[in-house]
Amino acid sequence: MKLFSFFTLTLALTFSTLTQANTEKIDGIAAIVDSSAILESDIQNRFQIVKDRVPGGIMTNNIHRQILNQLIDETLQANYAQKIGMRASSSDVDNAILSVARNMNLDLQGMKAVLASKGINYSRYRKQIEQEILINNIKREIIKRRIVISEQEIDDYLSSETSITKDKDQVHLRHILIRASNPEEAKQEIDNIASKIQSEDDFIQQAVAKSAGQFAIEGGDLGWRPMNQLPPLFVRALDAEQGPLVGPLQSNAGYHLLWVIDKRSASVTLQEQTKTRHILVRPNEIRDMTQTKAFADNLYDQLSKGADFAELAKEYSEDQGSTLQGGDLGWVTPGTMVPAFEDMMNATPVGDISKPFRTQFGWHILQVEGRREADISDQVKRSNAKQALTRQKQDIVLGNWLDELRADAFIDIKG
């Protein structure tokens, strides 16, 4: 449940909502990326997944463009991973597919039959899962290679106001990014965008239409973020400007605008660790969000009747990092989990099991097994500081890497 790099099975849907009348357009080629084709059907399929997060829930030209950009970026990342010899093992792909099948109370043959009934080609489905594994693996590798945190940086962080006063503060932001391939033009564009924003709705519209940020299709919504994990540039601006519109701000990645939706600050004086385990289930090609919620409710009913939490987690949880450990997350320190998870964890008494709840990763059920005062040894503080510093840098590092991939690739967008 870290903020970065989760294996997700929210892959392209192929539902009956794609009518026969749209067949010609859907089957067309939307773009060529090196030797890989992105189809109109890929764009339509992805829209079915993100539709409930898209402002208005309608496929506009801007939404179409943002989804196409997402698919181009994913193709570039997967191609690069393959180019440097990275592969998703057959066993990893098999385990992911079998995990989905178990969640549907199916064996592999039953899974293939359900896919076929939805008009989903099994080989294509398998390749999509393989690509997502590759993308997560290559992102981890790029962060490992390009972000090196020195001991001096850790010392400076631990002695800074950010470390002391921002470790509990959280902010809910929207974000617009204009990349600075041509700095003068980028500055003019960000100023023009800022002049059109008078409300949050204006910001959302501009984010969808113009932003190159990762969450542009969602109106630039970054969700709740701990202040000490934001880039220092953002933290300084949020402290200095009243908002809700903050910026433009210039970084190596380009020009940024922020919209402050809300802020909150915990009044906890003693840091407490929580021993917890969880079950995570996600929507996938054959189970939408409503069906996923129903499945989580079913698991909760089994737990309420005395089913063993660890055994259900091993069988059904889709959090690859904790499934084999029966969903065990160990001792969790504040700020480690996304806010929705942490709020539910903090509200659940020791020994109890939470009702199903939703985060951006899917539906969770958690069990709190214990609480203790946090280990505040120097080693733990330095480790936490290194994690926070890495998270401050990773979005910019990955963005710059994607710019490099785009610059070196052959990209032909049709239409």
> Does residue 147 sit in helix, strand or coil?
coil
Residue 24 has pLDDT above 60, yes or no: no
Residue 308 has pLDDT above 80, yes or no: yes
Residue 298 has pLDDT above 80, yes or no: yes
Q: Supply the pLDDT for residue 47.
A: 83
Identical fold, 151-267+381-413 and 272-373: yes
> Distances from the Cα of 82 to the Cαs of 31, 124, 132, 133, 398, in angstroms?
20, 17, 12, 12, 17
Q: Percent of the chain having pLDDT more than 70?
A: 88
Kindly report which listed range (123-132, 211-220, 345-354) carries the lowest average pLDDT score: 123-132
- How is residue 57 written in tokens? 């829930």
Q: Please, which pLDDT band fits residue 23 given cuts at 50, 70 and 90?
A: very low
Phi, psi (deg, nearest 5) at residue 309? -60, -45
Residue 2 has pLDDT above 70, yes or no: no
Q: Please, which pLDDT band fits residue 376 given cuts at 50, 70 and 90?
A: low
Q: Supply the pLDDT for residue 282.
A: 86
Burial (Cβ within 10 Å: 0-12, 13-18, ≥19) of residue 116: exposed
Residue 89 has pLDDT above 90, yes or no: no
Nearest to 281 by CA among 291, 273, 271, 272: 291
Contact, 412 vs 34, CB < 8 A? no
Q: Please, which pLDDT band fits residue 271 given cuts at 50, 70 and 90?
A: low
Q: Could you give the maximum distance between any two Cα atoms of the chain, in Å?
A: 64
- The answer as to CATH 3.30.460.20 being correct for domain 20-146 is no
- Partners of residue 274 on adjacent β-strands: 332, 371
| Mean pLDDT confidence for 327-345 | 85
| Mean pLDDT confidence for 229-240 | 86
Q: Supply the pLDDT for residue 45.
A: 79
Residue carrying structure tokens 């009747």: 305
| Amino acid found at 270 | L
Residue carrying structure tokens 């504040």: 334
Query: So what CATH class is 272-373?
Result: alpha beta
Q: Supply the pLDDT for residue 310.
A: 92
Kindly report which listed range (78-82, 283-287, 349-353) carries the lowest average pLDDT score: 283-287
- How is residue 170 written in tokens? 């959280």
- How is residue 409 written in tokens? 């690739």
Q: Please, which pLDDT band fits residue 288 given cuts at 50, 70 and 90?
A: confident
Contact, 256 vs 249, CB < 8 A? yes
| Mean pLDDT confidence for 332-346 | 84
Residue 15 has pLDDT above 50, yes or no: no
Name which residue leads in pLDDT, 238 or 270. Answer: 238
Q: Please, which pLDDT band fits residue 27 given cuts at 50, 70 and 90?
A: low
Mean pLDDT score of the chain: 82
Q: Percent of the chain having pLDDT more than 90?
A: 28
Q: Supply the pLDDT for residue 340.
A: 85
Residue 138 has pLDDT above 70, yes or no: yes
Residue carrying structure tokens 């709705």: 201
Kindly report which listed range (54-58, 159-163, 194-198, 255-259) carries the lowest average pLDDT score: 159-163
CA distance 168 to 160: 14
Alpha helices in 267-377 (DSSP H): 289-304, 309-316, 339-347
Q: Please, which pLDDT band fits residue 345 given cuts at 50, 70 and 90?
A: very high
Q: How many CB atoms lie within 10 A of CB 152?
A: 8
Name which residue leads in pLDDT, 267 or 309. Answer: 309
Would you tell me the crossing angle of helices 61-83 and 200-210 to the nearest 10 degrees?
50
Q: Supply the pLDDT for residue 280.
A: 93
Q: Please, which pLDDT band fits residue 19 given cuts at 50, 70 and 90?
A: very low
- How is residue 56 written in tokens? 């208005």
Q: Supply the pLDDT for residue 375.
A: 56
Residue 407 has pLDDT above 50, yes or no: yes
Burial (Cβ within 10 Å: 0-12, 13-18, ≥19) of residue 262: exposed
Nearest to 30 by CA among 42, 48, 14: 42
Nearest to 257 by CA among 203, 198, 218: 203
Nearest to 257 by CA among 265, 268, 249, 269: 249
Residue 210 has pLDDT above 80, yes or no: yes
Contact, 339 vs 170, CB < 8 A? yes
Contact, 399 vs 215, CB < 8 A? no
What are the extents of the domains in the chain? Answer: 20-146, 151-267+381-413, 272-373
User: How does 267-276 read in b/e, with b if 16+ C-beta sit within 10 Å?
Assistant: eeeeeebbbb
Q: Supply the pLDDT for residue 374.
A: 61
Contact, 354 vs 113, CB < 8 A? no
Q: Supply the pLDDT for residue 9.
A: 35
Strand order through the sheet with 221-226: 221-226, 169-179, 254-265, 245-251
Q: Supply the pLDDT for residue 162.
A: 57
- How is residue 101 written in tokens? 């099948």
Options 3.40.1190.20, 3.40.190.80, 3.40.50.1970, 3.10.50.40; CATH for 151-267+381-413 is 3.10.50.40
Q: Supply the pLDDT for residue 150.
A: 92
Q: Supply the pLDDT for residue 163.
A: 57
Q: Supply the pLDDT for residue 166.
A: 53
